[in-house]
């Protein structure tokens, strides 16, 4: 069978285009992203073990914006930064606050949300406000190795601070009367209080964040020195804020804009 010169050139062009497409696919940014899976509504596990929540949806939107192929994995909170440093994954999207202490070990994108902390108490609690004076002598539960635990230790030294590996555990103790109060992100507490499991309790109030302890908000965490990846995430955050994707995800979970002040 004869192949004309024009046909041969056409075949060659198609083959080149296909090879270039394959090369681009191979060159696509591939990332493994870790989250805790125990911090609803920001991240949690479905009954069949899949990650879901605001953090996860934001992460997927950022990956789409960056044209990156991303795989999401779970990691216990207290081992999150060591596992990142060990190269088990490329980034963390798990509501991790950008703090000076953490910046000694890792780098961050710019924030993707910033909400104030709060304190929850049983509905029959006699506590009147969230001041350290009010909590003096009371047992205050908080998740360990968080900006909230650092804040509790620094500002609520008069209280008996009880640390928990996960948020679920302090919620269980608060519901069963084993602690007097719990401190966490006000949105996390609010979501729990609106559920059947949280009907035992109420939000006592929110707390003005300490910029030194709480930082400017939660960011995407990357290995120390990987500023190029941090910048890619920052650019993608700005892009989804601008194109409306962020609002779409935000409104799926919240009635307020959790991004906070610009």
Reported as a single tens digit per residue, the pLDDT across 210-222 is 999 999 999 999 9
Q: In angstroms, how far is CA 245 from the centroid of its own chain? A: 17
Average pLDDT of span 222-244? 98
What is the model's pTM?
Answer: 0.84
> Under DSSP, is residue 14 helix (H, G, I), strand (E, B) or coil?
helix
Residue 44 pLDDT > 50: yes
Average pLDDT of span 241-262? 95
Residue with tokens 């994995």: 73
Give 261's pLDDT tier (boundaries 50, 70, 90). Answer: confident
Strands 43-45, 38-39: pairing kind: antiparallel
> What is the percent of the chain where pLDDT is above 70?
90
Q: Torsion-angle region of residue 130: left (phi > 0), alpha (psi -120 to 50) or beta?
A: alpha
What gap in Å lies between CA 171 and CA 112, rounded to an integer?
Answer: 26
Give 23's pLDDT tier (boundaries 50, 70, 90). Answer: very low
> What is the percent of the chain where pLDDT is above 90?
88
Domains of the chain: 27-114+216-253 (3.40.190.10), 117-213 (3.40.190.10)
Q: Order the strands of the 43-45 sheet from edge to edge.
A: 38-39, 43-45, 51-52
Take residue 35 and report the two structure tokens written for it.
């989250």
Give 3's pLDDT tier (boundaries 50, 70, 90). Answer: very low
Q: Chain-wide mean pLDDT for the chain?
A: 92
Residue 2 pLDDT > 50: no
Residue 52 pLDDT > 50: yes
Reported as a single tens digit per residue, the pLDDT across 159-206 is 999 999 999 999 999 999 999 999 999 999 999 999 999 999 999 999
Residue 5 pLDDT > 70: no
Residue 14 pLDDT > 90: no
What gap in Å lies between CA 242 and CA 239, rounded to an integer?
Answer: 5
Contact between 142 and 149 under an 8 Å Cβ cutoff? The reply is yes
Reported as a single tens digit per residue, the pLDDT across 56-67 is 999 999 999 999
pLDDT of 4 reads 46
pLDDT of 13 reads 47
> Under DSSP, is residue 78 helix (H, G, I), strand (E, B) or coil?
helix
Residue 48 pLDDT > 60: yes
Give 68's pLDDT tier (boundaries 50, 70, 90). Answer: very high
DSSP-based helix, strand, coil % in the chain, nearest 5: 45, 25, 35
DSSP string, 84-132: HHTTS-SEE-S--B--HHHHTTEEEEEEEE---EEEEEETT------SH
């Amino acid at each position: 069978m004869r192949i004309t010169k024009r046909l041969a050139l056409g075949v060659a062009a198609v083959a080149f285009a296909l090879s270039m497409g394959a090369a681009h696919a191979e060159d696509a940014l591939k990332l493994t992203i870790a989250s805790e899976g125990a911090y609803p509504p920001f991240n949690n596990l479905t009954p069949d073990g899949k990650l879901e929540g605001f953090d996860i949806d934001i992460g997927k939107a950022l990956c789409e914006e960056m044209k990156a192929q991303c795989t999401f994995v779970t990691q216990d909170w207290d081992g999150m930064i060591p596992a990142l440093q060990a190269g088990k994954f490329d980034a963390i999207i798990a509501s991790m606050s950008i703090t000076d202490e953490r910046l000694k070990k890792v780098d961050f994108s710019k924030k993707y949300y910033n909400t104030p902390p709060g304190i929850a108490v049983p509905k029959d609690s006699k506590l009147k406000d969230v001041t350290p004076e009010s909590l003096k002598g009371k047992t205050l539960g908080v998740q360990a190795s968080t900006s909230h635990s650092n804040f509790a230790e620094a500002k609520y030294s008069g209280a008996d601070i009880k640390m928990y590996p996960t948020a679920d555990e302090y919620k269980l103790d608060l519901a069963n009367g084993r602690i007097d109060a719990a401190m966490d992100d006000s949105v996390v507490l609010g979501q729990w209080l609106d559920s059947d499991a949280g009907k035992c309790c109420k939000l006592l109030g929110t707390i003005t964040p300490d910029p030194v302890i709480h930082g400017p908000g939660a960011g995407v965490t990357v290995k120390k020195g990987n500023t190029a990846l941090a910048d890619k995430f920052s650019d993608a955050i700005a892009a989804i804020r601008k194109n409306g994707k962020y609002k779409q995800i935000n409104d799926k979970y919240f009635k307020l804009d959790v991004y906070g002040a610009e």
